[in-house]
Amino acid sequence: MSIEEIFERYVESKIFKDREKLLPDYVPEELPHRDEQILKLASILAPALRGSRPSNVFIYGLTGTGKTAVTKYVLRKMKEKAPQTVEYAYINCRQNNTSYRVLAELAKHVGVKIPFTGLALGEVMKRLLQGLERRRYVLIVVLDEIDNLVKRQGDDVLYFLTRVNENLSSSKVSLIGITNDLKFTEFLDARVKSSLGEEELVFPPYSAAQLEDILRRRAKEALHEGVVDDEVLRRVAAIAARQNSDCRLALDILLKAADIADREGASRITLEHVEKARNEIEKNLAVDIIKTMPLHVKLVLASIYLLSRSDSARMITTGLIYDKYKELVGKVGIEPVTSRRVSDIINELDMTGIINAKVISLGRYGRTKVVSLGVPARNVEEGLMSDLILRSLIENMEE
């Protein structure tokens, strides 16, 4: 296929009308099945329109339940209504996962320049305060995936932000904390907890039927007519429903399936396209994470991988992993990290979902963690193989 043909095919796609409408950060004009949450959030935040400080809000809900979309949607509407008095700052705490970065990001919204490293935290807070004082508005700060911040750094920043109004006369600050960890508040200082949780909002998962409805509406915007039928939509909805009813995943699969169909030059999306899309998403997720892991993390993962294929009956425990890891490290000729560190690495891997780890007690034979792979072994292999050191290591072991 020539380059012209590829471009030509893309320009006059038989599948897409407007591909952007399926991208993850697109917020549609209507958010079906979230009316209750929209109205509640709007009524909580409404005082900002008159220039008074709304209550802080805490939003719970699993991934892909529309928390971020609803929040952005409501704030956008408010800003349209009162562009002079209302301002909002959306900060994702997964990307900005340190106290410093969150404050620096916030300062940027207020128009204060903060270098990305070097300053003392207290200094950043001072400058942020000065910046806020120069303004006259209600600033609504959205801290998305806030659990990432608190678990790693503690709640110092939150404490500062909940009390920031005491030091301000012209501007006001409200907080919206979003998390998908329902037990999150346990980590919080009591004062922060009560202040942040002035209002709470829970986002229940979508039902399969609701997912299907959302998909149908979105497909209408993004795809040409007749490209998907109900059977395909139902299938996508069913897959997502099994995964905690994650709507983002549902849209992701639909997009990928549409991409595959488009690339093949098909005129409709079939169940096979959906199946391929699902596999590809699953694979990419794992492979991408593995590729970017630091060396020792890869080595630990390689140990688990090798153990799981050598003796499938044997339970894989921390001690076994550490022995294998030392063996691998020896072959490469680098110094091993301590077992304490490996224990942390196993936990890190567990959090990504690439492995599953569970503490169990073997009675007399101690207390340990049993580990298993959380994704297909070939995906792990593919991820590890992209690293030259790991590649030669694994190929040697297989002989």
Partner DNA sequence: AATCCACAGGAAGTGCTGGGCG
Partner DNA sequence: CGCCCAGCACTTCCTGTGGATT
**Which spans of this chain sit near DNA (rule: CB under 7 A)?**
97-101, 115-123, 152-153, 294-297, 317-320, 335-341, 343-347, 359, 361-369
Min dist CB 187 to DNA, Å, is 11
Report the DSSP beta bridge partners of residue 88: 140
- 84 vs 361, beta carbon nearer DNA: 361
Min dist CB 144 to DNA, Å, is 17
**Rounded alpha-carbon distances, angstroms, from residue 39 to 35, 124, 198, 384:** 6, 36, 17, 48
Min dist CB 185 to DNA, Å, is 17
- 165 vs 343, beta carbon nearer DNA: 343
- 49 vs 370, beta carbon nearer DNA: 370
- 103 vs 261, beta carbon nearer DNA: 103
Min dist CB 351 to DNA, Å, is 11
**Rounded alpha-carbon distances, angstroms, from residue 4 to 1, 8, 140, 182, 263:** 8, 6, 48, 51, 14
- 80 vs 365, beta carbon nearer DNA: 365
* DSSP H stretches of helix in 265-352: 271-291, 295-310, 318-332, 339-352
Min dist CB 68 to DNA, Å, is 22
Which of 226, 173, 186, 182 is CA-nearest to residue 56?
173
How close are the terminal C-alpha atoms of the chain, in Å? 40
What's the CA gap between 295 and 345, in Å, rounded? 11
Which of 28, 21, 142, 22 is CA-nearest to residue 75?
142
- 78 vs 300, beta carbon nearer DNA: 300
The tokens describing 340, both together, are 């304490």
In this structure, the number of other CB atoms found within 10 A of the CB of residue 319 comes to: 12
- 126 vs 242, beta carbon nearer DNA: 126
What's the CA gap between 9 and 5, in Å, rounded? 6
Sign of CA dihedral 69, 75, 81, 83: negative
Min dist CB 353 to DNA, Å, is 16
Min dist CB 95 to DNA, Å, is 11
